[in-house]
Amino acid sequence: MSLKSERRGIHVDQSELLCKKGCGYYGNPAWQGFCSKCWREEYHKARQKQIQEDWELAERLQREEEEAFASSQSSQGAQSLTFSKFEEKKTNEKTRKVTTVKKFFSASSRVGSKKAEIQETKAPSPSINRQTSIETDRVSKEFIEFLKTFHKTGQEIYKQTKMFLEAMHYKRDLSIEEQSECTQDFYQNVAERMQTRGKVPPERVEKIMDQIEKYIMTRLYKYVFCPETTDDEKKDLAIQKRIRALHWVTPQMLCVPVNEEIPEVSDMVVKAITDIIEMDSKRVPRDKLACITKCSKHIFNAIKITKNEPASADDFLPTLIYIVLKGNPPRLQSNIQYITRFCNPSRLMTGEDGYYFTNLCCAVAFIEKLDAQSLNLSQEDFDRYMSGQTSPRKQESENWSPDACLGVKQMYKNLDLLSQLNERQERIMNEAKKLEKDLIDWTDGIAKEVQDIVEKYPLEIKPPNQSLAAIDSENVENDKLPPPLQPQVYAG
């Protein structure tokens, strides 16, 4: 994705959406930019390379064991036992990794399938006996009715599908990537079998694969969607928190060519948000893709009504990002991972479903990496908006059209007032903290100065002098004063 510093919106070259191997199919960020077919080829190459390295290690250890055996006859038993255990372990590991659903189509599996059918009539497995939901029962009946029109081919498809579900029941302890690999192998083998042996036309193969996907994923949904062994839930919480923090992003910042003041456009935006949120309620990957497709078509209609001309790809992606930010779909990353792992790969590689899904992945990647430069903002403004100190919508509220709703105007005025009060409160709190610090520093400074003066000029306390006797006191022995006058009677 190439981001322009000038305000020209979010531009993505269409070639960047294709597989980076150049096969012409749509790529996927979850597959490192490869399409499903190329990704599986790369995955198998890496896996075969790992197996080859393991066998080379085993051969090297064998040579070392033979040399040790030749040099020391006494350690023959222990060394042979050690190597045999290692070879058995490596063989089991290789068998576990390489074995796929293709064994279901081998001749030996036919005998096993007959035995499985006999055992099924006698003692059904726990996966079949478990309590199914109403939706699962409905999908199962629809799948059986659909296959009846194909007669023998339909019976074979149903048998292989049941066997695949039985096998997946015992593979729940495997990693989600290994379960995904088994499912993708099953899709590929069933499609190839119908085309080569059944001579089924490609358009009918696509319809059958859709029904197979619907049937098996309805049953496997609660086991493979957002499993506890993955970090899907952690990613969901992270992207939700990120979108909440970006609630202030406006259509103008993303250069979204949509005018929500037009009633029809506003309705289209609401429908697009509803569709992207509804994606989480679906069980089947194809149904989730259908929600993304419906959302995208509403976006194109909104752009077309606003601009009075067909929308371009450069108009679509910014609007899709805006819809995701405004809707904040639940479990977004889990849904994307679920579609990537278990959807019929042909849908993700070609067609409008694959195109819209690839754009959604690009939109999520853009939101995760969104910064000030992406929105043509200064880093200071971006940080203030992210911290909630201010909102860019405050500046937009001054330019109201005459027909704007009074309630909306009042709401934005109140928001502006609250924002201003918040800023004043922040300033008051900062000044109060500064004043408190100054008072503490002043008190400490005065106390230190007093202490320094006391230490420099110590105070000497002398005993008090003897107090002088009162003039009219009776104790006048030592006084030089004349005796007090005595009253005399005048007899004249």
* Helix boundaries (H) for 370-477: 379-387, 393-396, 406-456
Average pLDDT of the residues of the chain: 79
* Helix boundaries (H) for 99-201: 107-122, 126-129, 134-148, 152-169, 176-196
pLDDT digits (tens, 9 = 90+) for 432-472: 999 999 999 999 999 999 999 888 888 777 777 666 555 55
pLDDT digits (tens, 9 = 90+) for 317-337: 999 999 999 999 999 999 999
Checking 55-61 for CB contacts under 8 A at 24+ apart, the result is 55/90, 55/94, 58/86, 58/87, 58/90, 61/86
CB-count exposure of residue 359 (10 Å: 0-12, 13-18, 19+): buried
**pLDDT: which is higher, 44 or 134:** 134
Contacts (Cβ under 8 Å, ≥6 apart) of 320: 295, 296, 299, 359, 360, 363
Residue 3's SS3 state is: strand
Half-sphere exposure of residue 434: CA atoms within 13 angstroms, side-chain side: 6
Given this model, what pLDDT does residue 92 score?
Answer: 57
**pLDDT: which is higher, 268 or 407:** 268
Contacts (Cβ under 8 Å, ≥6 apart) of 135: 218, 283
Please, are residues 36 and 184 in contact by the beta-carbon 8 Å criterion? yes
Q: Which amino acid is at 66?
A: E
Please, are residues 344 and 216 in contact by the beta-carbon 8 Å criterion? no
pLDDT digits (tens, 9 = 90+) for 288-319: 999 999 999 999 999 999 999 888 888 999 99
Residue 2's SS3 state is: strand
**pLDDT: which is higher, 450 or 74:** 450
CB-count exposure of residue 242 (10 Å: 0-12, 13-18, 19+): middle
Beta bridge partners of 10: 3
**pLDDT: which is higher, 140 or 10:** 140
| pLDDT average, residue stretch 249-268 | 91
Q: Is the per-residue pLDDT at 113 higher than 50?
A: no
Residue 197's SS3 state is: coil
- What DSSP string runs through 221-236? HHHHSS-TTSSHHHHH
Please, are residues 307 and 291 in contact by the beta-carbon 8 Å criterion? no
Residue 347: pLDDT band with limits 50, 70, 90: confident
Global pTM? Answer: 0.62
Residue 11's SS3 state is: strand
Given this model, what pLDDT does residue 70 score?
Answer: 74
Given this model, what pLDDT does residue 486 score?
Answer: 80
Q: Is the per-residue pLDDT at 100 higher than 90?
A: no
- What DSSP string runs through 13-78? -GGGGB-TTSSSSB--GGGTT--HHHHHHHHHHHHHHHHHHHHHHHHHHHHHHHHHHHH-GGGHHH
| pLDDT average, residue stretch 392-401 | 56
**pLDDT: which is higher, 145 or 84:** 145
**pLDDT: which is higher, 114 or 373:** 373
Half-sphere exposure of residue 353: CA atoms within 13 angstroms, side-chain side: 18
Tokens found for residue 122: 């006698």
Given this model, what pLDDT does residue 129 score?
Answer: 40
Q: Which phi-psi region, left, alpha or beta, contains residue 241 (left: φ > 0; alpha: ψ -120 to 50)?
A: alpha
Euclidean distance between CA atoms 488 and 492, whole angstroms? 12
If you ran DSSP here, which 8-state letter would residue 151 be given? T
pLDDT digits (tens, 9 = 90+) for 159-205: 999 999 999 999 999 999 999 999 999 999 999 998 888 788 888 89
Question: Which of 8-22, 110-124, 197-211, 404-418 reaches the highest mean pLDDT?
Answer: 197-211
Look-up: residue for tokens 């074979």?
Answer: 156
Q: Is the per-residue pLDDT at 421 higher than 80?
A: yes
Q: Which amino acid is at 241?
A: K
3-state helix, strand, coil in the chain (%, to 5): 70, 0, 30
| pLDDT average, residue stretch 395-401 | 54
| pLDDT average, residue stretch 354-370 | 93
What is the Rg, in whole angstroms, of the alpha carbon atoms belonging to the chain? 41
Q: φ, ψ for residue 183 (rounded to 5)?
A: -65, -45
**pLDDT: which is higher, 116 or 135:** 135
